[in-house]
Structure 1
Amino acid sequence: MGDTLSSSADYKRAVPVLQGSGVSGAYDAWAVDCPFVFYHRDKFYMMHIGFDGLGYRTALATSEDLLEWKKEGVILDRGENPAHWDHVGAAGSWILLENNDIYELPRLKKVDNKYWMIYHSYPEFGYEAGGAKMGLAWCEDENLLEWHRHSDPIFSYENGGKWEKVGLYKCCFFESNGRYWMFYNAKDKPDWPWKEETGVAVSNDLMNWKRLSDEPVLVTEENSFYSQYVSDPYIRFDSRTNVWVNFGFGFDGKHAQGLLSVSSDLVKWSTIHDPWIESGQQGQLDETHAHKSSVLYWNDRFYHFYCACRPSKSDDPASNLEGNSEFRCITLATSVPLEV
């Protein structure tokens, strides 16, 4: 892996690119999280999730330059039927892309003349309450605002291994060698301290998924910065060195930090022992956590979008809501300084 890629988050912006509104009832009342950035119809899009105190809702923002972003609206809301499996909310994590190469702009891929998204949903109101399952949504609208959901989950923890027996989290999925691959993290028990690790499943049709193993493929390591979590996979192919790269995150019980793993076959992975992107100093946006990555290459520069967290301050836009003691936003780091 080249030096440019391994140091692609050297220069951090000091301000958010997207943050919660603080408006009661809005999808992003408390926070925004989990960026997924892609290129579509001559501009950049950022799918992201907002937390409103009840659950996650998925929205889009757009940009011409990757720096200034405009929120376009919610694309996956909570379901109207309280008996339905995704009535609490829907957290979109990935839309199928037409290419896997990190050095190409990520553009959406159509299958059966539709764009496809995988999302997850929790069964109880609150912050990630209960065991989440995966759902599938599709869109034929080129504005990407009208999405339709398959009625049932496509993937569940209920028939998985011991390491994932309590619930699923964010996934990425892509096509390679004639089939679809889905990497996802999950947790092993309901009460802290639990562990989160990352597993893989494959499919021929996006609907029916089979685990390659009952064991995770990206695992925690004692006395490391990823001793508790190896989570939120974001996998792309480095065409310059012919390896797959996972921009995940590790957590040691105190700080979540960017984690970099590489593989030649998508099954056996090697994780770099030091954080790829470190949590920040006191007062910085990522003082507590620097995690949940979305990475792209444009104009000879890597843009690394990630979720940054620090303790709330009195003038934070989302800090006036009861119980919200953390400021959680989406920010940016780059491989070379920005000329701003």
Structure 2
Amino acid sequence: MKPDQEALLAKWSTTNKKEKPALAGSGMKGSYDSQGVDCPFVFRHNDQFYMMHVGFDGIGYQTALAVSDDLLEWRHEAVILPRLEGSDRWDRIGAAGSWILLASNDIREVPTLRKRDGRYWMIYHSYPGEGYEAGGAVMGLAWTTDESLRKWNRLEQPIFTYENGGDWEKEGLYKCCLLEHEGKYWMFYNAKGSNVWPWKEETGVATSIDLFQWERYDGNPIMPFEEGTFYSQFYSDPCIRYDGERWLNFAFGLDGTHAQGLLAVSEDLLHWVTLDKPLLPHGGTGDLDEIHAHKSSVVIWNGTLFHFYCACRPWREGDSTQVEVFEGQNEFRCIAVATNRSK
């Protein structure tokens, strides 16, 4: 049965975009977020909201937490996956937190963390070179028993790499989504098959019974790019939740110019229907998301849907940060929020 696309768009759209960032980089020299912030992951813990996110400083990503009482006003808490100066580890340059295992997949429930074997578990990705997403990233796993979520322990070796994957992922992995369903763990991730721009990115899945050993699905990529659509170059950064009837993926598509939030639906986590129109369109001239509106995290609180995302627009004088994503392309990258409230 084909989904009612207009009904789904109406139900999950968040047209009230806040004009100011929910979280912006500090711009302070030597800080983890001196050039921008990215990749929000929002959940509730210890009677407050947390936003795990990454900061970029020109060398690599580091992972941090911000906290909030109302999902609108955020304040910096701590860097939790810092750069490992003087180390020879594979993830020494940077570690970008992707997802922490949640207690429930249901979007109608406020996301909270789940312990496995008495520990909270985070998947992160790390790039091997210095610079903006330099080289092919691989996945690592970190854990903590610290209820403040400040002190994390990383496993010695990556848990998932691109070397043994298919052609579509042979040049590196990106951000992933981790969930538990029917007795096993599911990791949805995007990857690239070339390191020559403009490369393509697509999304696949792997499963595990223990979080450590992963098996790729033979039908990967399950969410491919499609020519002639707004995801003709990238189908990336999965964010998967369940609404009681179907699985929802709040991912993003790139058409070569703009990245925009998309919505896809599935009954079995393997076969997906992507809505024809963007769920979260990029903005107009001067808006925070003039270039891109992507990398989503969604939360329902007190009946309101909050859609957090990385917003990008051309850098301009007075911005707290700027990052050169490509040569000569300087952007202001921040974390924005849109809601389904009328005001």
TM-score by length of 2: 0.95
Shift of 1:319: 3.8
| Residue 305 (structure 2) pairs with residue 308 (structure 1) | no
The answer to whether the Cα contact below 8 Å between 1:172 and 1:184 also exists between their aligned partners in 2 is yes
Map of 1:246 onto structure 2: 249
Choose which of 141, 152, 163 in structure 2 pairs with 1:158: 163
Map of 1:202 onto structure 2: 207
Instruction: Name which of structure 1's ranges 2-11 and 18-27 shifts more when overlaid on structure 2.
Output: 2-11
SS of 2:148's equivalent? coil
Map of 1:282 onto structure 2: 285
The answer to whether the Cα contact below 8 Å between 1:31 and 1:50 also exists between their aligned partners in 2 is yes
User: Could you give the per-residue CA deviations for residues 200-241 of structure 1, whole angstroms, max 9, x where no partner exists?
Assistant: 0000001111101262000111011000000000000011xx
Q: Distance in 2 between matches of 1:320 and 1:191?
A: 21
Alpha carbons of 1:217 and 1:319: their partners in 2 closer, same or farther (altered >3 Å)?
closer
Shift of 1:3: 4.7
The answer to whether the Cα contact below 8 Å between 1:95 and 1:118 also exists between their aligned partners in 2 is yes
Q: Distance in 1 between matches of 2:219 and 2:163?
A: 12
| Residue 300 (structure 2) pairs with residue 297 (structure 1) | yes
Map of 1:227 onto structure 2: 232
Map of 2:274 onto structure 1: 271
Q: Distance in 2 between matches of 1:152 and 1:236?
A: 29
Map of 2:117 onto structure 1: 112
SS of 1:163's equivalent? helix
Q: Distance in 2 between matches of 1:84 and 1:62?
A: 30
Shift of 1:106: 0.3
- Unaligned residue ranges in structure 1 (runs of 5+): none
Map of 1:181 onto structure 2: 186
Shift of 1:193: 1.4
Alpha carbons of 1:21 and 1:271: their partners in 2 closer, same or farther (altered >3 Å)?
same
| Residue 47 (structure 2) pairs with residue 48 (structure 1) | no
SS of 2:71's equivalent? coil
Please tell me the residue identity of whatever aligns with 1:17: A
SS of 2:29's equivalent? coil
Give percent identity, aligned residues only: 59
Q: Distance in 1 between matches of 2:107 and 2:36?
A: 28
Q: Distance in 2 between matches of 1:302 and 1:108?
A: 19
The answer to whether the Cα contact below 8 Å between 2:64 and 2:78 also exists between their aligned partners in 1 is yes
The answer to whether the Cα contact below 8 Å between 1:237 and 1:243 also exists between their aligned partners in 2 is yes
SS of 2:251's equivalent? strand
User: Could you give the per-residue CA deviations for residues 26-63 of structure 1, whole angstroms, max 9, x where no partner exists?
Assistant: 00000000000001111100000000000000000000
Please tell me the residue identity of whatever aligns with 2:143: W
Q: Distance in 1 between matches of 2:26 and 2:165?
A: 37
Cα RMSD, aligned residues only: 1.6
Matched pairs, number: 336
| Residue 104 (structure 2) pairs with residue 99 (structure 1) | yes
The answer to whether the Cα contact below 8 Å between 2:323 and 2:333 also exists between their aligned partners in 1 is no
Alpha carbons of 1:284 and 1:248: their partners in 2 closer, same or farther (altered >3 Å)?
same
SS of 2:263's equivalent? strand
Q: Distance in 1 between matches of 2:177 and 2:315?
A: 30
The answer to whether the Cα contact below 8 Å between 1:35 and 1:46 also exists between their aligned partners in 2 is yes
Instruction: Name which of structure 1's ranges 219-228 and 209-218 shifts more when overlaid on structure 2.
Output: 209-218
| Residue 31 (structure 2) pairs with residue 9 (structure 1) | no
Map of 2:152 onto structure 1: 147
| Residue 242 (structure 2) pairs with residue 237 (structure 1) | yes
Choose which of 68, 77, 84 in structure 2 pairs with 1:72: 77
The answer to whether the Cα contact below 8 Å between 1:23 and 1:29 also exists between their aligned partners in 2 is yes
| Residue 325 (structure 2) pairs with residue 329 (structure 1) | no
Please tell me the residue identity of whatever aligns with 2:254: F
SS of 2:250's equivalent? strand
The answer to whether the Cα contact below 8 Å between 1:201 and 1:212 also exists between their aligned partners in 2 is yes
Q: Distance in 2 between matches of 1:226 and 1:45?
A: 30
